Amino acid sequence: MANDSNFRRMIKLAATAAAAWLATTGAVGAQVPVVTVTVFADHYVVGGRHIDDLDRLEDAVAATHTRGVRLEACGESASRALRAAAHRFRNHYLDLRVSLIDDTTCQSASAARAVPVSQRFGPRPYGIHDEAVDHWWSTLSMP
C-alpha cells in the first residue's frame, strides 16, 4: 500500500514537472523577437526599406538576428510574394497576416518608395523560385 502511494505521488510530481516545463517553454516561444515584413505584390518593406528582391530581403532579416518573422500581406495580389517569403523563412517562427490594401499597416508602409536605377527582367519581386515555392506549399498538411 505504501509503495502504491509513493508511486502515485511520483506520477503526480512528474506530471506537475512536465506541465511546468511545457508552460515555461511555451512562454519562452511566445516571446520570440519578431521582425515585421510588409508584403506587396511587387516588393517588400522591412524597417522602412523597400526591397524588390527576396534574396536582399533575406539578407535584411538575417541582419536583425531574429528568430521570428511576421509577414503582413497587403491585398490579394500579394499572394505570390507572401507564399515565397513564407517559403524562404520557413525555418523561422512565422506569423502570417493578411490585410486589405487600404488598411493603415499597408498605407504607412507604401508611403514613399525609391525608383530602382536599373531594371531587371521578370516578375517582381525578384529572387522567387516559383517551382520550389509551389512544391513546398503542396507538401504542407493544413487542418
Task: In whole angstroms, give the CA distance from residue 88 to residue 129.
Answer: 10
Where are the domains positioned within the chain?
1-28, 32-116+123-139
Residue 103: band (very low, low, confident or very high) from pLDDT cuts 50, 70, 90: confident
**pLDDT averaged over every residue in the chain:** 75
Domain 32-116+123-139 has CATH 3.30.420: yes
Q: What is the mean pLDDT of residues 20-47?
A: 72
Q: What is the pTM of this model?
A: 0.65
> Is residue 91 classed as helix, strand or coil in its secondary structure?
coil
Extended strands (E) in the chain? 34-39, 44-46, 49-51, 68-74, 93-99
Measured distance CA(33)–CA(64) in Å, rounded: 10
Residue 14: the pLDDT is 47
Q: What is the pLDDT of residues 107-133, one digit of tens each?
A: 876 655 544 544 555 555 677 777 887
Q: How far apart are CA 138 and CA 74, in angstroms?
A: 23
Compare 89 and 136 and report the one with higher pLDDT.
89
* Amino acid letter for position 28: V
- DSSP assignment letter at 125: S
What is the arrangement of strands in the sheet containing 93-99, beginning at the earlier edge strand? 49-51, 44-46, 34-39, 68-74, 93-99
Average pLDDT over residues 58-77: 91
High-pLDDT (> 90) share of the chain, %: 28
Residue 98 vs residues 11, 24, 61, 76: alpha-carbon distances, Å: 45, 30, 20, 8
